Amino acid sequence: MKKKLALLTLVISGFCLQLKSQEVVKPLKVNIELAIDENGNAQATYQTKLNAGQWDAFKRSMGNNQSLLKRSIERSLPAYFLTDFKYEEDAMDRSYSLKFNAYGMCHIDASGKWVAELDVKNPDITKLDDNTYMIISEMVSGGQLIQANQKIIFPSSASDIKEEKDAFGKAIFTFKMSGSSATGKTMQYAGIGLLIIGAVLMWRASKS
């Protein structure tokens, strides 16, 4: 199953289903930070601040039920294994943050390079420093315009980070990390080995 960073923005729609009654003057801004580790996993952090009407609607719909919030995120991100959810809010400031771990954010291709797939064409990407990039996107959910500011932080050991395109013209990040090439080959050979073992077991079963 492909892993796509752009899927993370879909979670926002689950938070905003009840905001359609609010008159849109300015976009709802959601800040997303993805800190990728050396295993290709990431710690995700969502932060946003709402006006009074939006905060009341959010609390009625999801804000008082963290289990519902967790299930909504898991449905929106089926390509990842999500753990360690931590929700915090500041009622006085009408803001909240949500942190969780997303395993399998990046994968290694056949050549040994790490790949992070964005699943969008020509995204607005800004390089903040050698290992940090910002992607700004907009979407509409329930009549609410949402601006997602998604910061991607690659590990310090990552090098040769490039924005490229896949066979369908969609943007991807490719990068290298020490030992990733050997790891990629090991995974490839392990997969071949499992296929051989499976074929042998099927052959033995057919003979019995």
d(CA 75, CA 88): 21
pLDDT in tens, the chain (208 residues): 444 554 454 455 445 444 444 444 577 888 989 999 988 899 999 888 888 888 888 888 776 777 777 887 788 777 778 889 898 989 899 998 889 998 888 888 888 889 988 877 788 889 999 999 998 887 776 677 888 888 999 999 999 999 888 878 888 899 998 755 444 444 444 444 444 444 444 445 444 5
CA distances from 38 to 35, 82, 84, 103 (A): 10, 17, 19, 12
> Kind of pairing, strands 144-153 and 28-36?
parallel
Give the predicted TM-score (pTM) of the model. 0.73
